[in-house]
Structure 1
Amino acid sequence: MGGVDLADMRRLHCHSTIMGQNRWWLKLLDVGTSNALVLYNEAVNGKQEPCNIVDFKNKVVEALVGPFLVDDIPSEQSVAHCMTNISGAERQRCTYCSLRGKVARTRYMCKGCGVPYCCIGSGKTDKDCFASAHENEDIREICIRHYRMQQTNTRKDLLKKRR
């Protein structure tokens, strides 16, 4: 087999990036990768076992992208705790501000906790109540209990007024 036949064989390999593609630069990348594999296998001749095209492409990708990979994958819990708009037109009191004796109305609430919080740029507050409440687990739990207590007190008041 000549060199052209081997190149065609490698190009038509099932893991080729050019199958069914009309992008000329992918063909160049694929040919360059297979040429680099040949040079790599010649360079490590006898020192290591020859590498196949799939493993070689994985090594190339890891070498190029590896330093830029993010190690911290957000947990489901941190993704669940994000700000969302409160449905309806009525604004609610910020629970964190309420605990500090301030009155602040907000249109945002934590999706995970279901508790309304101010956020930067949403009013007269100079601090992000959502971030402050979620920095510490204990403070977040206090805010949740305080909000639920407010809700039950509001319901009791409504029932008393109806009687």
Structure 2
Amino acid sequence: MKISGHLNKIEKLNQLRARLDPLDDFELWFWATMMSGTHAVNAALHQSGVTQPVEAYAMQPGVYLVPQPDGRAVPQFGALGDVLHVGRPVIEAPVPEDVAHMMHAMERIEEHRDPCVREGCKPTREIVDACDRAYGECLAILNHRCPLE
């Protein structure tokens, strides 16, 4: 995806997050947070030249849906463009320190995914606050690299 596409997704996901109660709507709020943070990491990776922004959408590591002139999207193998989650796929190239910090912040968010979304752990205010702080760190770094509007 192109940087502008990532920024657009972040904006839309932030609008959704603002309408959700983080505790009552935790699963939706969490997925919106995680997806938006991943878009932020991808935009920063593209902006720093670590990965290439391409008009394609990551399906699996190394597999992208590529838009066709007739409107269809066709799966194709490709070089690393967007990561699906931090660490998936692993980035072999050196990553700038601030982007690595974003990636670490995303790992702190994702450590709550399985317990709270898949394993039935009841989310707490502390979990929500920790996720929100880590997400805020991601956006602050991204805003330094690619100012959000």
* TM-score normalised according to structure 2 size: 0.26
Higher relative contact order at CA 8 Å, sep ≥6: structure 1 or structure 2? 2
TM-score (norm 1): 0.25
